[in-house]
Amino acid sequence: MRITVDKNQSFGKANPMIYGHFLEHFHRQVYEGVYDPTSIFADEDGFRSDVIDALKKIKTPVIRWPGGCFVSDYKWKLGVGKERIPSYDKAWLVEESNRFGTDEFVKLCRKIGCEPYICTNAGTGSAEEMSDWVEYCNLKEMGRFAKQRIENGSIEPFGIKYWSIGNENYGGWEIGAKESAEWGRLVAESAKMMLRVDPAIELSAASINDLNWNIDLLRKAGRYLKWISIHSYFEGSSDGLKNNDYNTLMLRTGQNISENIDRARSFLTALDYGDKIKIAYDEWNLRGWYHPNVFNIYSLGEIEDIRKDPETVYRKTILEPRNNNDVNSTYSMADAVFSAAFLNTCLRNCDIIGMACFSPVVNTRGAIFTHKDGIVLRPQYFVFELYANLLKDNVLNIWKYNVPRMTGLDGNTQKSVDTVDIVVTYGNGEYAIGAVNKDPDNDQTVDISFLDDTVKTMRVHTVKGKDVDSYNDIGKTDVKIEISDQLPFRGTVTLAPHSVNVIELK
């Protein structure tokens, strides 16, 4: 493969918020994840200091919270103040203690050094409830809710900039799902109230690959929005563990990743918002979360045993299966390679994608796994470590020649994708290249030429494992970053099989 680079040909500047993350009240993400006062790693506020350190290391820029499906019945007012009132979580069918609420979330973000991004309840909630939340967070002292925040110990307003009106309210699985016409009106009325509290906030609302949904949303509420939100998970499995093989997953690194972006772009462009509203890809992951029997809970009523022993049926059919999300062998080099290909696609679309949130930040399908004695960094974690720390702001358009291809069947569909996925960035007189080799078994060689620069040295940072199924676990680190010496650059870079690389060039 050969590429030609011209630093004057640019897609645009990348927003570092594409390296963001997502935190939901599901399973072990909040409690036992970021927040665990009983842990030996707990700081003075009950947060896991080892998790915070890991998130600092990857320069986490933004965290979206509290959901997700959870938010569509979330009463934020129960999660503030000295007296927290437990509630039943109708999304995930557990009790929510409300010990971790708005003040704790903001404190967590301040410790990490990232922007808080709040997703509001547009399921059972109202425009007034959403705007009350903005009052609590952003008004200095006027009104009931700002005064309540002050009484709760935060004299200065939080100044939260990013807010999402709802989650996946287009979906029948979501509590308080909406039709397209009512969605556009709800977003518009909510936005009006929220912006009257703080006109400096930036609002997002849920989009989907549906023309009517977007026409109603953008015509009724587009003038209030700075963002539209899209979500994708690219693999699910019947038991929450690995399902498709490595090659099949690699075939999903092409159109599967780009099509949602392309359609969202087309909707925005057609309705004259292409240069006014950005895309927030604020939930994404290779692997979808595993939570069986939640969206078909109604059918469990037909099980005879649920009448005899409801607690056992509930535990075995709802709660215990969720533990399969945290089997670390599930997360292999496939996750790392796929994640890098996803981020490369976002970088190539940096003119319109301004934010992306890996879903979730910790446990479940997250890049970090917690246990009582520490944390495990899953393979995808190291992709964020390289990209967030080493890639530059300016994303360059490049010319590619003789690009090798992978072909095969994904189910009954024939697909073909580039074997090598490359993005070139530039800043402060230096280049940094994100280079992914999807080939499971073979090195790939890339010849690189620069039109108007003489590059003299290179250093290669590589995320790799022995084979495509390599993973990390407690006491086991098979995937890590390897860093080469500073080497003379002679126009060629060799990429190891199934690897993610950042190549620094000076």
pLDDT for 74: 98
Question: What's the CATH architecture for 394-505?
Answer: Sandwich (2.60)
Q: What topology is assigned to 14-390 in CATH?
A: TIM Barrel (3.20.20)
Q: Which of 233, 242, 239 is nearest to 321 (CA)?
A: 239
Q: Is residue 305's pLDDT more than 80?
A: no
Look over the chain and give the mean of its residue pLDDT values, rounded to a whole number: 96
- Tell me if 490 sits within 8 A of 456, measured CB to CB: no
Rounded Cα distance, 334 and 502, in Å: 17
Tell me: the pLDDT tens digits for 2-47? 999 999 999 999 999 999 999 999 999 999 999 999 999 999 999 9
Rounded Cα distance, 45 and 67, in Å: 22
pLDDT for 96: 98
C-alpha pair distances (Å), 125 with each of 99, 197, 201, 220: 20, 17, 19, 19
User: Which pLDDT band holds residue 489 (cuts at 50, 70, 90)?
Assistant: very high
* pLDDT over 90 percentage in the chain: 94
Find residue 396's DSSP bridge partners: 10, 424
Rounded Cα distance, 94 and 250, in Å: 36
Q: Is residue 333's pLDDT more than 70?
A: yes
* Per-domain residue ranges of the chain: 14-390, 394-505
pLDDT for 296: 82
Residue 272: half-sphere exposure toward Cβ, Cα within 13 Å? 2
Tell me: the pLDDT tens digits for 187-219? 999 999 999 999 999 999 999 999 999 999 999
Q: Following CA atoms 122, 124, 126, 131 in sequence, which dihedral angle do they give, to the nearest 10 degrees?
A: -60
Rounded Cα distance, 449 and 433, in Å: 13
- Tell me if 469 sits within 8 A of 249, measured CB to CB: no
Q: Which of 484, 487, 493 is nearest to 506 (CA)?
A: 487
Phi, psi (degrees; rounded to nearest 5) at 281: -85, 70
Q: Following CA atoms 189, 190, 196, 202 in sequence, which dihedral angle do they give, to the nearest 10 degrees?
A: -120
Ramachandran category for residue 281: left, alpha or beta (phi over 0 → left; psi -120 to 50 → alpha): beta
Q: Is residue 97's pLDDT more than 90?
A: yes
Q: Is residue 363's pLDDT more than 90?
A: yes
What would the two tokens of residue 368 be?
A: 């970090």
User: Which pLDDT band holds residue 304 (cuts at 50, 70, 90)?
Assistant: low
Q: Which helix (H) or strand (E) holds 285?
A: strand 278-287
> Cα 1 to the chain's mean position, in Å?
31
Q: Which helix (H) or strand (E) holds 220?
A: helix 211-221
Q: Is residue 165's pLDDT more than 90?
A: yes
3-state secondary structure 354-397: EEEEECCCCCCCCCEEEECCEEEECHHHHHHHHHHHHCCCEEEE
Q: Biggest alpha carbon distance in the chain?
A: 77
DSSP letter at 244? S
Tell me: the pLDDT tens digits for 401-442? 999 999 999 999 999 999 999 999 999 999 999 999 999 999
Length of the chain: 506
Tell me: the pLDDT tens digits for 103-116? 999 999 999 999 99
Mean pLDDT of 124-135: 98
DSSP labels, 13-40: EPPGGGGEEE--SSTTSTBTTTB-TTST
Residues 6+ apart with CB under 8 A from 43: 49, 52, 111
Rounded Cα distance, 335 and 250, in Å: 10
Which residue has tokens 């358009």?
397
Phi, psi (degrees; rounded to nearest 5) at 336: -65, -50
User: Which pLDDT band holds residue 311 (cuts at 50, 70, 90)?
Assistant: confident
Tell me: the pLDDT tens digits for 250-266? 999 999 999 999 999 99
The model carries a pTM of 0.97
pLDDT for 155: 98
What would the two tokens of residue 72 be?
A: 């569509």
- Tell me if 106 sits within 8 A of 137, measured CB to CB: yes
Q: Which helix (H) or strand (E) holds 243?
A: none
Burial tier of 414 (Cβ tally within 10 Å: 0-12, 13-18, 19+)? exposed
3-state secondary structure (DSSP) of residue 403: coil
Residue 139: half-sphere exposure toward Cβ, Cα within 13 Å? 19
Q: Which residues of 263-287 are buried (b: 16+ CB within 10 A; e: fewer)?
A: bbbebbeebebeeebbbbbbbbbbb
Q: Is residue 307's pLDDT more than 80?
A: no
pLDDT for 301: 63
